[in-house]
Every structure is written in structure tokens, then in C-alpha cells.
Homo-oligomer: A and B are copies of this chain.
């Protein structure tokens, strides 16, 4: 995972963002803020969504072909499942130099599908930013400030494509990391998709058996379950798209859980404290 700290200073001239949710909306606001000379348009599928979007970011269109035709960089911020059809829709309208990226949370399948349609002008991205909130109303110009932005170039990616997309995320404050689509899905399955699943399981288990104990909740429960309030449709799609990595993560989690249970069952205070100390040491390395 080489970390790129270079300054990608080539300014972007026209960016079309497809999908005006939290990520797409925040990217539009961030570019407006950081690159005032860059023309940014946001594509929304429906007139209703476009109207909602226009209240936050006025340059909205429902015409994908038009948005794509004028852009030197297209960014897909829709649900992953919608991306291949969108790519097929815009590909006839792209200029020769246009570059395409996405912001999906799973990379393997979708990168393969989009490379098939778009070729070397596409490279996958995943800005590790977000929140339990969703929708254009939650968009913030500083969402990507300091966030890890993973790029997943392959042997097919053109050099110019990578440079443009590095410039995009770098210009909105991202910390760039490169890895293969497969390595991305394994790592992000552990550090993002697994914690989301665990938070939802925790809320579910307590709600079923806790007799309203949530009413007593302190900061620990609140923090550890915050992400369980994320959009269910999006997370369901992510879990199924990254099925293998998430299932491995859940197995590993269950194995650690069984180990902890053994220490508790056998009243093994030293082993229990050593387990918790190890977790603390690891967690303390994050700020």
C-alpha cells in the first residue's frame, strides 16, 4: 500500500459526478470549494432527485449523455449495481481524453465490469469517507479532508487515467493509497464492512434480548453502534458484493469471540486481561 504524498497540481477543467448522494454531493461541494475554476455538474436519475439536489448544488442535470459529453473526468457515485449500465449509457458520448472513475465500496467485480466497457480510461477509486447519514442533505465540502482514498489501478489502466484520478482525490484533501482491486476488497472487507456488520448485529442482539436496556446506554454503546444507522440498501449491496471477504471476517470474528468466552468461562483473569491488553495496544496505535 504505497502512500502517495505528491502534489497533483494539474487543475481539472470539467467534472461530471453521477449520483447526488452523500459522496457525490460532497465531492461536488469540495471541488467547488477547492477548484473554483473547475466546472462541476451533478447527474441525478430522476427529476425528483434533481430537484432535491438543486437545493444544495445548483448545477444538476438528468441528461447523462450531455453530462458525459462535456467532461474530462466522470465520477460514478451511484450504487455499485447501477454502474455498468451507466457506463454503457455514457461511453458513446465520452470525449477521446475523458477519464472515468467511481467511488464504490467494493472493487473486484465492478472494476472488471467497468474496464470491459470503458477500457484503460477507467480506474477504480474508494474514498474511505462517509457517515451513518446519507443523501445530498448530509453532503459536506470537507468530507474527504484527511480521508484515505484508495485507487485500484490494474494492468489495463492508462497512466494518464491514474494521474487524473490521483489529482481529483488529492485536490479535495484525500490521502492516496494504491492497491489491487482484490487486495482492496480483502482489506476493506475487514476494516469497514466487518465493523458495519458487527455494529448491526450488536444492535439486533441487544434489541431482541435486552428488555429496553438501550435506554441506559452510555457513550460506549452509542459509539460502537453509530454506523448501524447507515443506509440498509447500500450496505446490503456491499455485503453481497464483497461476500467472500466479509464471510471470512465473520469467521475470524467468531473464532476470537470463542477464545474470549473460554477465558471468561474458566475465570482466567490473566488470559482475559492479556486479550484486552492486546486489543488496547492495537487500538492505541490509531489516533
Contact = CB atoms under 8 A, between A and B. Distances in A.
Contacts of A196: 220
B195 A225 contact: yes
Interface string A40-58: 0000000000000000000
Contact of A224 (B190, B227, B237, B246): B227
Contacts of A217: 128, 148, 191-192, 286
B223 A224 contact: yes
Interface in A169-210: 177, 186-188, 190-192, 194-210
Interface stretch (A8-16, A94-102, A272-280): A272-280
A257 B254 contact: yes
B195 A269 contact: no
Interface stretch (A85-93, A109-117, A155-163, A259-267): A259-267
Nearest to A192: B220
Interface in A207-256: 207-233, 235-237, 239-240, 243, 246-250, 252-256
B205 A188 contact: no
B216 A280 contact: no
Given A187-B216, A236-B272, 10 more contacts: A128-B217, A191-B210, A205-B252, A207-B279, A209-B252, A223-B224, A224-B226, A230-B276, A239-B264, A253-B257
> What is the total number of copies of this protein in its complex?
2
A276 B210 CA distance: 18
A269 B200 contact: no
Interface of A: 1, 128-132, 147-148, 150, 177, 186-188, 190-192, 194-233, 235-237, 239-240, 243, 246-250, 252-257, 260-261, 264-265, 267, 269, 272-280, 282-286
Contacts of A206: 190-191, 194, 249, 252
